Amino acid sequence: MIEIETWTSPDRVDSLVPLYEAWKEDQRGGIFGISMQMDSYINDIKKCLESMESCIIVALDENEPVGLIMMITIKSEFSDDQVWGVEKGWYVKPRYRSVGGLLIQKAKFWCIDKKCSHMVMSASNLASDMYEKVCRFYTRMGMALFETSFIMEI
């Protein structure tokens, strides 16, 4: 039975290292010349949890983390009265992909609780080779294409 929990303390982040290591196998940072250092990434997550309105929503199968979404809040640069919930990374182990929708729904409820006007999720060619599938998934979840980013190694 899958349990979905919301973590706001950095104390449990180290228990997610095996899940992030699994994601590291899927990520494509090397294609873009991006160094993917897990220690740095884990420390950044801890700092976010310590210093800003943020959380990690975790899917657990018998206490084993099998998926997560990291959410932060930011003030909209376009309006003084809007706050956005922004995904800072998410991953679900391949055999648990069906819990992605549950994680996103929980993230949406977290955003509502934090009085966010919008929730922003990214679809990244860096994260995996599933960019097109993720875009279709977001569309099915009721999201609209918002921005496109490009990168150049210099």
What pTM does this model have? 0.90
Below-50 pLDDT ranges, the chain: none
Give, in degrees to the nearest 5, the angle at Cα 127 between 76 and 113.
35
How many angstroms separate the CA atoms of 63 and 2, rounded? Answer: 9
How many angstroms separate the CA atoms of 86 and 3, rounded? Answer: 22
Q: What's at 72, amino acid-wise?
A: I
Strand-pair partners of 5: 58
How many angstroms separate the CA atoms of 17 and 13, rounded? Answer: 7
22-46 confidence digits (pLDDT tens)? 888 887 788 888 888 888 989 999 9
What is the CATH number assigned to the segment(s) 2-140? 3.40.630.30
Burial 38-73 (b: 16+ CB within 10 A, else e): eeeebeebeebbeeebbbbbbbbeeeebbbbbbbbb
pLDDT value for 36? 83
Indicate if the alpha-carbon torsion angle 108, 113, 117, 122 is positive or negative: negative
Q: How many residues does the chain have?
A: 154
pLDDT value for 33? 86
